[in-house]
């Protein structure tokens, strides 16, 4: 438990540090005065001033911020954030999101170079060497032969036998070829469940869908180092695309039903999944960090007040109309209201996650 807590705080800290560093370094490059660079939310635990910037570590490790001159208050200083061109403010605002995407890409690049299971792509589309492969049951057709045999979702299919002739499966294609050849016959399926192997008898393979299962292949693929960056870039793009689709569905259902989907979790869920990832191994944990980083990027780019995307909306409108569409004080109030709503949503999700833990 202590290890999980330490790694959870470390993961959250890294994600926030990378995100805020994007805003910080871009503001510095452009020449905006950065008054504070903070990890976590107050109360303050530690701070040190170097140059014109206060570097702080705060007690609540679920966020962070870069405080720039003229960001929340009026300033006539030419180095103030509000006095920069819309283009420069746009670059500063989007830099945190880009840093999180870059972090995910770097992690996946290293992962594929060492050997990693792709998150969304089929292992067969990855130009590398399969180090290992597992065929996992994802679901069943109603009253399918496999379901009747006692197999359950999550079981790993290792092989099968007919008339004492055994065959091991190293790919989905091998399993499909085997079942095609033995339609109408009874077969023994060798499987693994919770680190224990067993055998189930499928009485008769059907003609249309012999086993009647939905299966996925989990394969560890190693990619040559010079191809790993490209493969990781494609995987990152696909994950970003799917994440946008998920959040689009989430927001639509949230406003139409007022309910938070089961697939959405808060800090408690992240803590739980961190523990599971630790048990699964270092590579799975790194993969989990990459997914969290992309999720953080996508959430922040959403056009909602208080998020980076919400600030970008006002900057783009200013660029289009060549003047501020909303007064600075009004914009700040909108962001504060948005921030309050986000906190309420996080509290609601956290309450549900805690309740689910106690009801399991």
**Cα–Cα distance for residue pair 354/360, rounded to 1 Å:** 10
Catalytic hit among 20, 147, 217, 235? 20
Which 8-state DSSP code applies to residue 303? S
Query: What are the structure tokens assigned to 30, written together?
Result: 């452009």
**Catalytic residue status for 36:** no
Judge contact between 86 and 318, C-beta under 8 A.
yes
The stretches of the chain forming alpha helices (DSSP H) are: 2-30, 86-114, 145-149, 172-181, 228-257, 267-280, 282-301, 308-321, 328-359
How many Cβ atoms are within 10 Å of 108's Cβ, its own excluded? 28
Is 80 in a helix, a strand, or coil? Answer: coil
**Cα–Cα distance for residue pair 182/161, rounded to 1 Å:** 10
Judge contact between 310 and 32, C-beta under 8 A.
no
Is 296 in a helix, a strand, or coil? Answer: helix
How many Cβ atoms are within 10 Å of 135's Cβ, its own excluded? 23
How far is C-alpha 53 from the geometric centre of its chain's CA atoms?
Answer: 31
Burial pattern 144-155, b for ≥16 Cβ within 10 A else e, equals bbbbebebeeeb
Query: What are the structure tokens assigned to 3, written together?
Result: 């290890």
According to DSSP, the β-strands at 165-168 and 129-140 are unpaired
Burial pattern 339-358, b for ≥16 Cβ within 10 A else e, equals eeebeeeeeebbebbeeeee
According to DSSP, the β-strands at 129-140 and 213-222 are antiparallel
Q: How many angstroms separate the first and last alpha carbons of the chain?
A: 18
**Cα–Cα distance for residue pair 62/17, rounded to 1 Å:** 11
Question: Which residues are designated catalytic?
Answer: 20
């Amino acid at each position: 438990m202590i290890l999980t807590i330490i790694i959870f705080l470390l993961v959250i800290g890294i994600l926030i540090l990378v995100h805020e560093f994007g805003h910080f370094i871009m503001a510095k490059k452009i020449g905006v005065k950065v008054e504070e660079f903070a990890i976590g939310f107050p109360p303050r635990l530690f701070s040190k001033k170097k140059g014109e910037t206060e570097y702080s570590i705060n007690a609540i490790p679920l966020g962070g911020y870069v405080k720039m001159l003229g960001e929340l208050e009026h300033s006539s200083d030419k180095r103030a954030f509000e006095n920069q061109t819309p283009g420069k403010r746009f670059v500063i605002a989007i830099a945190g999101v880009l840093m999180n995407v870059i972090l995910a890409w770097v992690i996946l690049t290293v992962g594929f170079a060492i050997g990693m299971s792709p998150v969304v792509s089929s292992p067969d589309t990855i130009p590398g060497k399969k180090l290992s492969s597992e065929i996992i049951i994802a679901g069943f057709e109603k009253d399918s032969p496999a379901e009747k045999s006692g197999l359950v979702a999550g079981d790993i299919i290792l092989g099968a036998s007919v008339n004492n002739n055994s065959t091991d499966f190293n790919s989905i294609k091998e399993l499909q070829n085997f079942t095609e050849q033995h339609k109408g016959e009874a077969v023994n399926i060798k499987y693994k469940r919770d680190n224990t192997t067993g055998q189930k008898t499928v009485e008769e393979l059907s003609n249309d869908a012999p086993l009647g299962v939905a299966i996925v292949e989990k394969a560890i693929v190693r990619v040559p180092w010079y191809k790993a960056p490209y493969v990781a870039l494609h995987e990152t793009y696909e994950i970003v695309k799917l994440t946008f689709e998920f959040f689009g569905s989430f927001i639509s259902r949230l406003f139409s039903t007022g309910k938070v989907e089961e697939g959405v979790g808060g800090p408690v869920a992240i803590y739980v999944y961190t523990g599971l990832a630790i048990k699964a191994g270092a590579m799975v944990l790194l993969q989990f960090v990459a997914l969290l980083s992309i999720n953080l990027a996508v959430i922040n780019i959403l056009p909602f007040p208080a998020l980076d995307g919400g600030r970008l909306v006002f900057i783009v409108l200013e660029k289009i109309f060549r003047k501020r569409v909303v007064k600075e004080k009004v914009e700040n109030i909108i962001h504060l209201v948005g921030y309050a709503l986000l906190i309420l949503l996080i509290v609601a999700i956290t309450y549900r996650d805690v309740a689910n833990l106690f009801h399991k």
